[in-house]
A and B are shown apart, each in its own frame.
Chain A
């Protein structure tokens, strides 16, 4: 898989032949790609595909069996502390001590981050994610799953890091808070921050991400912009005729999905240009072009692995 770095500067994340094996089990099989600074990158895959393993190697929690990873050009293993100083991380599975208060957790993690924490910014995040200030003084055993996820997001965001790594960030959040999180992430991108997020919610990925990477059985099987990925599904063209027409031969990149006497549905996988001369000789009354949803494309990739 070729690497790419659209911005041309030092990539925020650079993975080179990164692999992790546990004996005979290959969790990640030599993946290579870059995430450019300032983009929102969606890292997709089914459960057990290798997403969290990859993320934990970026943070030096797991040691790669082969290859390397770098954040902003800093090696994640050799110069791990420097690399981690640039990161805010929200794990998919939050390990919290139930006897701590939310405030105590945020304070502890702020001290460990070594960065200056703007308390006003922390409060702004708390408000935006609808976590009451009084809740921060409660112990975590009194928190609901959603409240814990919000706290997880605040601890990742509070130091305003250069790179945010979010593992399933919207899981357990209600739609309004998801919307608030999306706005926060867009705002961060406007300020040049890089966001690397794994997610199962494909509609959310489509809405948020500039580029996506899909990992399947430890290998990257798709790496593209959201628009390019969407196009892989092919556009659906519905042609209505003013009178019944006979079928005609279509080029290889077009498929006649359905046909009645006066209506055709054609899937066009590449450019539309080739279809137009074919239709010119026919009594076309109306044309309707439907862009494919990313979800449909990605589900196709998922189904491939299931089958």
Chain B
């Protein structure tokens, strides 16, 4: 336990700059979204937006993008936000193979440390970093709404915002687990991270295609992004147990594979 805590502390300390930077970016991003939504709300911009919005977009967003609530919460489903969070977890998930590549592992594993402790460390850091990043986004949403929302605007329900944050966090953690699992077979961190990034992009596109093209919809179920339907949730749908279970299972299976492979492989 002492070894695990030491490794977790070391790993978090090393990426505190990245975490602080990403969190600040999310705070600024959310401020920008609330300010823009306030402006549209005051000038009637949402009515114009709804009229101009192409049909596929209205269908995709459940018409929610053209409302104050939908716009404020758009950050939770925005590809840029998801991209940054997934990139963060890929960098964390590939840390063990990075340690093998740089030979730092020789210093770590010459001590009485279990190989599974290294994987457990990554899991703890993944979850902690995700909670910090998504928690900051969640807190920023409430704070900016409290400070900047126009008096008569219909504010998002706290239950909806929290559900979105939980689902987004599960999606991000699942990607961290997948990165950890894939990286356990790799010799080089760059190879693992690139493969994982490409996979994330491909499955993001697959999920998008599945929303519009019925023939692709069954295949899109393999995409982790399929289990985060943000617009449905902004529209009022509660957090789906199936989505939670699917993302948790993806994370758990990937982490278990990583644990088994790291226990067996040459370091």
Q: Which residues of A contact B (CB under 8 A)?
A: 56, 59-63, 81-82, 84-85, 87-89, 91, 93-97, 99-100, 104-105, 108-109, 111-114, 155, 165
Contacts and interface: CB of A to CB of B under 8 A. Distances in A.
Interface stretch (B39-47, B82-90, B103-111, B123-131): B103-111
A136 to B, nearest CB: 16
19 contacts: A60-B109, A61-B110, A61-B267, A62-B267, A63-B266, A81-B113, A84-B113, A89-B110, A91-B106, A91-B107, A91-B110, A95-B103, A95-B105, A97-B104, A105-B107, A109-B111, A112-B7, A114-B3, A155-B107
B113 A96 contact: no
List 9 tightest A-B contacts by C-beta distance, closest first.
Answer: A95-B103, A89-B110, A112-B111, A95-B104, A95-B102, A85-B112, A111-B6, A91-B106, A81-B112
A58 to B, nearest CB: 10
A73 B116 CA distance: 24
Contacts of B104: 95-97
B10 interface: yes
B14 interface: yes
A155 B108 CA distance: 11
Interface string B8-21: 00100110000000
B6 A108 contact: yes
A22 to B, nearest CB: 9
A87 B111 CA distance: 8
Nearest to A20: B266
Contact of A81 (B105, B114, B266, B267): B114
Contacts of A88: 110
Contacts of A84: 109-113
Query: What is the size category of the interface that chain B forms with chain A?
Result: 20 to 34
A292 to B, nearest CB: 37
Contacts of A108: 6, 10
B3 to A, nearest CB: 5
A95 B107 contact: yes
Contacts of B13: 104
Nearest to B264: A63
A201 B106 CA distance: 23
Contacts of B112: 81-82, 84-85, 112-114
Interface in B173-227: none
Contact of A112 (B103, B106, B108): B108
Interface in B90-140: 99, 102-114
A112 B8 CA distance: 12
Nearest to A22: B266
Nearest to B6: A111
B189 to A, nearest CB: 12
B74 to A, nearest CB: 36
